[in-house]
Amino acid sequence: MSQAASSPAASKPAALEMRGVTKRFPGVVANDHIDLDVRRGEIHALLGENGAGKTTLMNILYGLVTPDEGEILLGGKTVTIASPADAISQGISMVHQHFMLVPVLTVAENILLGEEPMANAVIMDRKAAHTRIRELGRFFGTEIDPDLRVASLSVGWQQRVEILKALYRNADILVLDEPTAVLTPQETKEIFTVLRRLTAEGTSIIFISHKLYEVLEIADRITVIRRGKVVGSRIPSETDEDDLAELMVGREVQLTVDRGESHPAAVTLSVSGLTVSDDRGHEVVHGLDFEVKAGEVFGIAGVAGNGQDELVEALAGLRRPASGTVQLAGRSITGASPRRLHNLRVGFVPADRHRYGLVLVFPLTDNSVLTSYYRAPYSRGLVRDADAILRHAEQVINDFDVRTPSPLVHASTLSGGNQQKLIVGREFFGDLRLLVLDQPTRGLDVGSIEFIHRQVIAKRDAGTAVLLISAELDEVLELSDRIGVMYRGRLVAVMDGRSATREEVGLLMATGGREGPPPIIAEGAA
């Protein structure tokens, strides 16, 4: 299928050429003489690890970053793109990795912003705008009410609004930076259909991703970037996931962890009737019941915002449950403080490593004992034992492959992957009863993900009960012995982790197991 799509595109003229594009940031060459050509009507995938330079390259194309060297040609002519306004006027639109939507504005207002149709010199023509937006809705097969507030939309629909913004501007070249990162497989499929419809009408698409199977499915051509350089180009029909992964990382990568059979023993974590409210007092977790046994990984999949954050906070002692009980090996830990949980040998890896996981302006030594600094051997009476803390930090750094020049540098100087390995090293330390992992590999490169996943399985095999909460479906599928799907604050299904398929879990994530299309409005909104 991919080849059939690529053959006609191959004969088409180049819509965009980037030649010798170079951008240096202090201490790093983000883009090193990158050449890229995108033909009219093709989907060109840009593949690379986090930090490889994909986003910088696209920010250059979009006028957000000024390149040090190199030129950009559109339709064969050299152009200067000094600002997003320039890019838009040249027919380039970009869907950014993080939504560039203003939550309190309506769908229409978000789409119009910057290109407002005017009724007169001052006042906008809302009617014309609404007609246009409904008309563009045909690309999705569903109409959207232009007056809905964006904050009330589900994540999938927010992504559609982002694409509508590009369509509204009549983009010839559409850049999509990790557009599927937050989507369910079904939503991804729908977006892919839309993208194919667009290319059929002559739009060129640059598709950035690190999900190999998606790139193989959607792209006509693939360019791989590593450490700021183009390291290869491929056509999907002539490559496979292993080949692409090796190109991306620069060494052979094991894409899936070798995990043996699990040997679940006694119930370690038992949650019953757990109800949790969010900051505004709305109940967002409704009477959850589940168990995690020693020696198994229980994964909770779900689209972000379905109550996972509040569930994790309730389990980690950061939020008092409204009702229900949580038991650890038969004794109640409902509403227990983080310190008590730590003393009961519960490890916790939070989703937001900067807010909860680390104190960025502390050295690695102090960060390595954030949960245990107060007790022996790290403290003696009122005094900290700097030597003991240093020895501990060195052990964590060594065991968990944290790449750092010294244990005394600030945590802020480490890359995201190494920061996360430091947290994992701290929380996985010693003999644990329970591990609560919230998005443990979000935003990390393949190498770090591979490493952390292996550590999780090692903990499981050592008899720890592991609760994994992740919006990254692939991660849940890969690590879990049992999978629960969370939808609107409820576990709508629990299934065997080895036999579950991506489609099956994805559908449950999107609809909660009900018939009909997924809802437009998100839970707890509007």
Partner 1 sequence: MDFILHVPVIGLLLQFIGYLLSVMATNGSLIITLSTPIALGALCGFMNERSGVVNIGIEGMMLFAAFVGWYVAALVNGGAPSNPGPMGITLPLLVGLLAAIAAGVAVSALHAWLSISVRANQIISGTIINIEALAITGYLNLLISQNPIPSAGNFQSFVVPHAAASVPILGWLLTTFLAHGPITLTMLVLVIVLQVLLFRSRWGLRTRAVGEHPRAAETLGIDVIRLRYRNVLLGGVLAGLGGAWFTLEYIGTFQGGMTGGRGYIALAALIFGRWTPIGAFGAALVFGIADTLGQAVSFNPPTGDLGAVLSGVPEQVFSALPYLVTIIVLAGVVGRSIPPAADGQPYEREAKAT
- 133 touches partner 1 by CB under 8 A: no
| CB of 113 vs partner 1, minimal distance in Å | 5
| CB of 416 vs partner 1, minimal distance in Å | 9
Which pair of structure tokens corresponds to residue 116? 């407002």
Closest to 414 in 3D by CA, of 347, 468, 471, 357 = 357
Task: Beginning with the edge strand found earlier in the chain, give each strand of the sheet holding 229-234 in spatial order.
Answer: 92-95, 173-177, 204-209, 43-47, 221-226, 229-234
Which part of the chain contacts partner 1 (CB under 8 A), choosing from 118-126, 252-260, 373-381, 453-461? 118-126
Which part of the chain contacts partner 1 (CB under 8 A), choosing from 122-130, 180-188, 367-375, 401-409? 122-130
> Applying CB under 8 A, which of residues 44, 57, 62, 400 lies at the interface with partner 1?
62
Which part of the chain contacts partner 1 (CB under 8 A), choosing from 67-75, 104-112, 236-244, 446-454? 104-112
- 360 touches partner 1 by CB under 8 A: no
> Applying CB under 8 A, which of residues 17, 42, 49, 109 lies at the interface with partner 1?
109
In the complex with partner 1, the residue whose CB is nearer, 94 or 276, is 94
512: amino acid identity, one letter? G
User: Position of tokens 């757990």?
Assistant: 274
Which part of the chain contacts partner 1 (CB under 8 A), choosing from 59-67, 152-160, 323-331, 497-505? 59-67
- 526 touches partner 1 by CB under 8 A: no
Task: Give the x-and-dash track for 362-381 against partner 1 (CB under 8 A).
Answer: --------------------
Which part of the chain contacts partner 1 (CB under 8 A), choosing from 62-70, 365-373, 389-397, 433-441? 62-70
- 59 touches partner 1 by CB under 8 A: yes
b/e map 410-436, b = 16+ CB within 10 Å: ebeebebbbbbbbbbbbbbbeebbbbb
Instruction: Convert 270-322 into a string of H (helix), E (strand) and C (coil).
Output: EEEEEEEECCCCCEEEEEEEEEEECCCEEEEECCCCCCHHHHHHHHCCCCCCC
- 104 touches partner 1 by CB under 8 A: yes
In the complex with partner 1, the residue whose CB is nearer, 108 or 216, is 108
- 94 touches partner 1 by CB under 8 A: yes
> Applying CB under 8 A, which of residues 14, 65, 495, 525 lies at the interface with partner 1?
65
Q: What are the backbone angles phi and psi of residue 35, rounded to the nearest 5°?
A: -110, 135
| CB of 60 vs partner 1, minimal distance in Å | 10
Helix-helix angle 241-249:446-461, to 10 degrees? 110
In the complex with partner 1, the residue whose CB is nearer, 129 or 218, is 129
| CB of 511 vs partner 1, minimal distance in Å | 29
User: Position of tokens 């799907």?
Assistant: 485
Q: 257 in helix, strand or coil?
A: coil
| CB of 15 vs partner 1, minimal distance in Å | 21
- 100 touches partner 1 by CB under 8 A: yes
Q: What are the backbone angles phi and psi of residue 488, rounded to the nearest 5°?
A: 50, 45
- 84 touches partner 1 by CB under 8 A: yes
In the complex with partner 1, the residue whose CB is nearer, 118 or 359, is 118
- 103 touches partner 1 by CB under 8 A: yes
Which pair of structure tokens corresponds to residue 343? 């003393």
Which part of the chain contacts partner 1 (CB under 8 A), choosing from 84-92, 285-293, 339-347, 381-389? 84-92
- 112 touches partner 1 by CB under 8 A: yes
Residue 485 and residue 507 in contact, taking contact as beta carbons nearer than 8 Å: no
| CB of 62 vs partner 1, minimal distance in Å | 7
Task: Give the x-and-dash track for 11-30 against partner 1 (CB under 8 A).
Answer: --------------xx-x-x
In the complex with partner 1, the residue whose CB is nearer, 166 or 473, is 166
Q: 173 in helix, strand or coil?
A: strand
Residue 280 and residue 299 in contact, taking contact as beta carbons nearer than 8 Å: no
Which part of the chain contacts partner 1 (CB under 8 A), choosing from 81-89, 141-149, 370-378, 467-475? 81-89
Residues 199-258 that bind partner 1 (CB under 8 A): none
Measured CA to CA, the distance from residue 321 to residue 354 in angstroms comes to: 24
Which pair of structure tokens corresponds to residue 15? 């819509």
Task: Give the x-and-dash track for 136-175 against partner 1 (CB under 8 A).
Answer: -----------------------------x----------
467: amino acid identity, one letter? L
Which pair of structure tokens corresponds to residue 393? 């930090």
User: Residue 525, class by beta-carbon neighbours within 10 Å (0-12 exposed, 13-18 middle, 19+ buried)?
Assistant: middle
Measured CA to CA, the distance from residue 23 to residue 65 in angstroms comes to: 9
In the complex with partner 1, the residue whose CB is nearer, 237 or 415, is 415
| CB of 290 vs partner 1, minimal distance in Å | 35
- 304 touches partner 1 by CB under 8 A: no
Q: What separation in angstroms does the CA of 251 have from each of 242, 244, 247, 254? A: 10, 11, 7, 10
Number of residues that bind partner 1 (CB under 8 A): 40
Residues 6+ apart with CB under 8 A from 36: 16, 17, 18, 21, 44, 46, 57, 223, 230
Q: 267 in helix, strand or coil?
A: strand
User: Position of tokens 């950035």?
Assistant: 208
| CB of 56 vs partner 1, minimal distance in Å | 7
- Residue ranges of E strands in 13-76: 14-25, 28-39, 43-47, 69-74
Binding site residues, partner 1, CB under 8 A: 25-26, 28, 30, 50-51, 55-56, 59, 62, 64-65, 83-85, 87-89, 94, 96, 99-105, 109-110, 112-116, 118, 122-124, 126, 165
